[in-house]
A = this chain, B = another copy of it.
Amino acid sequence: MDGLKVCVIGAGSTYTPELIEGFIVRKKEMPVSHIALMDIDPGKLNIVGSLAKRMVEKAGINAKVELTTDRKKAVEGADFVLSQIRVGGLPARIRDEHIPLDFGVIGQETTGPGGFAKALRTIPVMLEIARDIEKFAPNAWWINFTNPSGIISETLLKHSRTNIIGLCNVPVGMTKSLATKLECQPQDLFLTYVGLNHLSWITKVCMKGDDVTKQAVKLSLKGRAKEDAEWMKINGIIPNGYLHYYYARDKVLEDQKKAEKSRGEIVTEVEAKLLAKYQNPNLRRKPKELEKRGGAHYSTAAVSLASAIYNNKRELHIVNTRNNGTIPCLPADCSIETNCVIDGRGAHPMTIGDVPLEIRGLLQAVKTYEELAVAAGVSGSKKLAFQALMAHPLVPSSTVAKGLLDAILDANKDYLPQFRLKR
């Protein structure tokens, strides 16, 4: 068979129809002949996978859709591997959101101690996947959107020999949103995009070569929290929405303490409804409700990235990759989220140089945390894990760091083989 093999790890996710739709839309430029959908949960895989089969069939694509719980088999010979796993599922996410709150710290899926716990759970599984890809699909392009995407990218860049590219839907979302506001096409815009996954800033916006930053900042104020809007007005820079956790630390904490449900609890309900919907045998397209789930643009981001590689397009995409001097005030071997030329050889960052002082300190502080989180997640060292938490700007004391670490290790003990081994 001559077409491409695409493998999706964690295919039981309700996001999968997004991806399938992406491949359907781009069927002319991406001749996919084999889609291997893999998950460790056969029940969810069956529900989501059956919908995927119906969608592919309806689209008239001559591709085999295979459902499997055997990861090696799924990976073998793949041209593209897409990974979107959630170790411990939504119950673990809900714990990640609650535990920090018990210590007076913001609880969030990817930022702060919650993201750290998620990283510790996820790293061992990602390293296992890496071993499979190195063995069974050594030339595959691996597009990961498992969170925390920056930490996972850095782990795999440092500890695997795979062609890993880290992806997030935020940059695509920010670009599309700006295009709408500026009444142009996304490809008319060039964003000077600086930073890390979920810790990035757009310091300049050019439309067909003209600097429209002021206008872009002004148009972006609407709908932003007042703390972020204030920051934007003074600095003339558009921050990633996740920076709200830093620019309004006090406010977010107050709100979270008062909230009835965490985001994870809400998502659990959304998921249940979606899965029920997916089981309708007449459903043959991505349901509209999926958009509420939060993964908008993942399809666009992932499939257009794969196509840019496959077709040697030399398009610009914002992805997570090795710094390599792009931002000289960060280590050369760390991961950053940055504008890259994408071609058949992968992602090639464009030089950035000195970053503005008003973002440098937080950028360097969080990257230090991330490097320690990678080291802790790979090694299972409690010392490194403490250092990572302590290095995080949201953690207010060593007492809290210590308490949080014990609580995180205890609550996640079923998912932390690297730490078990050290006991």
Which of A's residues lie within 8 Å of B, judged by CB? 104, 188, 190, 206, 208-211, 226-228, 230-231, 234-235, 247-251, 309, 312, 314-316, 324-326, 328-329, 332, 341, 343-345, 348-354, 357-358, 360-362, 364-369, 371-372, 375, 383, 386-387, 390-391, 393, 396-400, 402
Contact = CB atoms under 8 A, between A and B. Distances in A.
A328 to B, nearest CB: 5
Copies in the complex: 4
Most chain B CB within 10 A, of A210, A344, A349, A361, is at A361
Contact of A312 (B188, B228, B309, B349): B188
A150 to B, nearest CB: 15
A204 to B, nearest CB: 9
Given A206-B345, A210-B344, A344-B208, A353 B332 contact: yes
Given A230-B398, A234-B383, 16 more contacts: A190-B345, A206-B343, A209-B312, A234-B386, A249-B397, A250-B400, A251-B399, A326-B351, A329-B364, A332-B353, A332-B354, A357-B368, A358-B372, A360-B364, A361-B369, A364-B365
A231 B314 contact: no
Given A364-B361, A386-B234, A387-B357, A397 B251 contact: yes
B357 A364 contact: no
B399 A357 contact: no
A328 B349 CA distance: 14
